[in-house]
Amino acid sequence: MTATLADPDLFSAALYERMQQINPGIADMELYEFRYALNGCLPETADWGSVEVESREVIEARVNGCEFYTSIQIKPRIDGRIVLDPAIVQLARMLFVGLLTGDYPPEWINTHFYFDIRGFYFLHRTVYFVAEVLAHLGGAPLRRFEPLQQRLERRQEIGYREFREANAAIDGLFIESVRKLIRTRGAPILLAIAGPTAAGKTEIVERLRSVLQAEGRSVAAIEMDNFLTDREQREERGIFTLSPAALHFDLLHRCLAEICAGCKIVTPRYDFVYATSSHDLDGTLKPDCTPIEIEPADVVFIEGNSPFLFPEIAPLIGIKVVYLTDDPVRLKRKWRRDIDYRKKYEPTYFRNRYFREQFLMAERSYRPQMAVCDLLVDTTGAALWATPEIARILANGK
Q: What is the pLDDT of residue 1?
A: 74
**Does residue 387 belong to any structural domain of this protein?**
yes
The parent domain of residue 29 ranges over 2-124
- 161-164 long-range contacts, CB within 8 A, separation 24+: 163/200, 163/329, 163/333, 164/203
**Does residue 74 belong to any structural domain of this protein?**
yes
> By the 8 A CB rule, do 333 and 167 touch?
no
> By the 8 A CB rule, do 369 and 302 touch?
no
In the chain, which residues have pLDDT < 70?
Answer: 397-398
3-class secondary-structure state, position 105: coil
> By the 8 A CB rule, do 188 and 299 touch?
yes
Residues 188 and 306 in one domain: yes
Q: Which of 101, 124, 147 is the last residue of a domain?
A: 124
Residues 180 and 201 in one domain: yes
Residues 203 and 309 in one domain: yes
Q: Which of 124, 141, 159 is the last residue of a domain?
A: 124
Residues 211 and 317 in one domain: yes
**Does residue 282 belong to any structural domain of this protein?**
no
Q: What is the pLDDT of residue 397?
A: 66
Residues 306 and 366 in one domain: yes
Per-residue pLDDT of 118-153, as tens digits, reads 999 999 999 999 999 999 999 999 999 999 999 999
3-class secondary-structure state, position 104: coil
Q: What is the pLDDT of residue 243?
A: 86
**Does residue 225 belong to any structural domain of this protein?**
no
CATH number for the domain spanning 323: value is 3.40.50
**Does residue 309 belong to any structural domain of this protein?**
yes
Q: Which of 105, 124, 143 is the last residue of a domain?
A: 124
pTM of the model: 0.92
The neighbour count for residue 135, using CB atoms within 10 Å, is: 10
How far is CA 92 from each of CA 88, 119, 205, 226, 250, rounded to the nearest angstrom? 6, 11, 37, 38, 45
> By the 8 A CB rule, do 364 and 70 touch?
no
